[in-house]
Amino acid sequence: MPKAPRANGSSTPKKRTRKTTTEAAIPVEQPAMTSTRVAVASQPSLTIEERIRMRAYELYLQRNGSGGSPEQDWLQAQQEISAQQSAS
């Protein structure tokens, strides 16, 4: 038996909801970056580009991947590595 068509004005449309992020999916704690940063700065065998890449990734992890951009991380890392080299 076919369903009777609904009257357009008598019923309200259903509200759509978004799925929320569960607390289990959110990382609770990030590892300390200070030890990694020291290790990156003290490894002379790495090329400048590798050191910049590693530092940019550290910056990404520090902000938990939210906001910012890879370009901003790269430029900040580049400035920090350049400052470290000129200080040495």
- Indicate the domain borders of the chain: 33-87
Sequence-distant (6+) residues with CB within 8 A of 55 are: 37, 40, 77, 80, 81
Q: Which residue has the higher pLDDT, 12 or 3?
A: 3
pTM of the full structure: 0.51
> Tell me, what DSSP letter sits at residue 11?
S
- Other C-beta atoms lying within 10 Å of the C-beta of residue 37: 16
Please tell me what DSSP assigns to residue 68: S
Average pLDDT over residues 31-46: 56
Q: Whose CA is closest to 83, among 36, 41, 34, 38? A: 41
pLDDT at 21 over 90: no
Question: Across residues 18-40, what is the average pLDDT?
Answer: 53
Whether pLDDT at 28 is above 50: no
Asked if residue 48 has pLDDT above 90, the reply is yes
